[in-house]
């Protein structure tokens, strides 16, 4: 955009008010573009890349351990339900099934012990992964501060560029208006002379003139 404005301004002519204004605006647009590139680069390095690295690394590991923990919990619940079922059948055995009921109950108890051990071990692993998030939160808080600082710097510099542009354009427009309206400029000069020369006074219109 800035380059196109500068080219158009040169075609209209640098001596024309519109051409010079186009060039001035185009230069400001180029400065804004450079500031935006610097802002994008600093944001990418200070916030986006560290966050992406965390999501692809530590966060994936945590989510995997949590899924494994959920599966272990389901296995543990199934083992508990099986023990309840086998104990109920052992307490109310059918004829010639006492030995089989006891063996099934013992096997269910062994499976429950194993499932409980696997679940407890997975709980410890998941807790260790979650405890590692404490230092990660501190790091990402610093990354957020970097992002905010980059935004403050970008918007403040862009604001200064636009303020300078506005002042320049306002001056160009005033000069252009004075060139196109010499009578207004002469009138302003006369008013200034009146203000600077106190001996020059305006005579009031007489009130006692009779109208015929």
212 residues of the chain, pLDDT tens digit each: 888 888 888 888 888 888 888 989 999 999 999 999 999 999 999 889 998 988 888 888 889 999 999 999 999 999 999 888 888 877 776 655 555 777 888 888 899 999 999 999 999 998 888 887 777 888 888 999 999 999 999 999 999 999 999 988 876 555 554 545 545 445 555 445 444 544 444 444 344 434 43
Contact by Cβ (8 Å): 170, 21: no
Closest CA to 158 of 31, 69, 58, 68: 31
Give just the sign of the alpha carbon dihedral 174, 178, 181, 185: positive
Contact by Cβ (8 Å): 15, 175: no
Q: What is the mean pLDDT of the chain?
A: 79
The pLDDT assigned to 97 comes to 56
Distance between CA atoms of 135 and 141, rounded to whole angstroms? Answer: 10
Distance between CA atoms of 161 and 2, rounded to whole angstroms? Answer: 13
Q: What is the pTM of this model?
A: 0.58
Instruction: For residue 123, give the 3-state DSSP assignment.
Output: helix
The pLDDT assigned to 203 comes to 44
Residues in the chain: 212
The pLDDT assigned to 130 comes to 84
Following DSSP, what letter does each residue of 29-64 receive, concatenated? HHHHHHHHHHHHHHHIIIIIHHHHHHHHTHHHHHHH
The pLDDT assigned to 204 comes to 44
Contact by Cβ (8 Å): 9, 19: yes
The pLDDT assigned to 77 comes to 92
Distance between CA atoms of 129 and 64, rounded to whole angstroms? Answer: 10
Taking only Cα atoms into account, the Rg of the chain, rounded to an integer number of angstroms, comes to 42
Q: What is the pLDDT of residues 154-171, one digit of tens each?
A: 999 999 999 999 988 876
């Amino acid at each position: 955009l800035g380059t196109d404005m500068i080219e158009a301004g040169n075609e209209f002519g640098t001596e024309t008010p519109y051409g010079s204004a186009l060039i001035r605006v185009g230069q400001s647009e180029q400065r804004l573009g450079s500031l935006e590139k610097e802002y994008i680069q600093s944001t990418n390095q200070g916030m986006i890349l560290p966050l992406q690295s965390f999501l692809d690394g530590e966060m994936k590991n945590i989510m995997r351990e949590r899924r494994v923990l959920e599966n272990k919990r389901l296995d543990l619940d199934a083992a508990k339900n099986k023990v309840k079922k086998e104990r109920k059948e052992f307490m109310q055995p059918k004829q010639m099934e006492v030995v089989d009921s006891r063996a099934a109950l013992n096997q269910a108890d062994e499976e429950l012990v194993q499932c409980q051990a696997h679940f407890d071990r997975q709980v410890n692993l998941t807790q260790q992964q979650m405890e590692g998030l404490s230092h990660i939160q501190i790091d990402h808080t610093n990354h957020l501060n970097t992002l905010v600082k980059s935004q403050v710097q970008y918007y403040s510099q862009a604001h200064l560029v636009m303020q300078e542009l506005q002042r320049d354009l306002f001056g160009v427009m005033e000069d252009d208006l004075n060139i196109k309206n010499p009578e207004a400029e002469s009138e302003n000069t006369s008013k200034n002379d009146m203000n600077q020369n106190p001996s020059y006074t305006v005579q009031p219109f007489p009130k006692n003139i009779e109208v015929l």
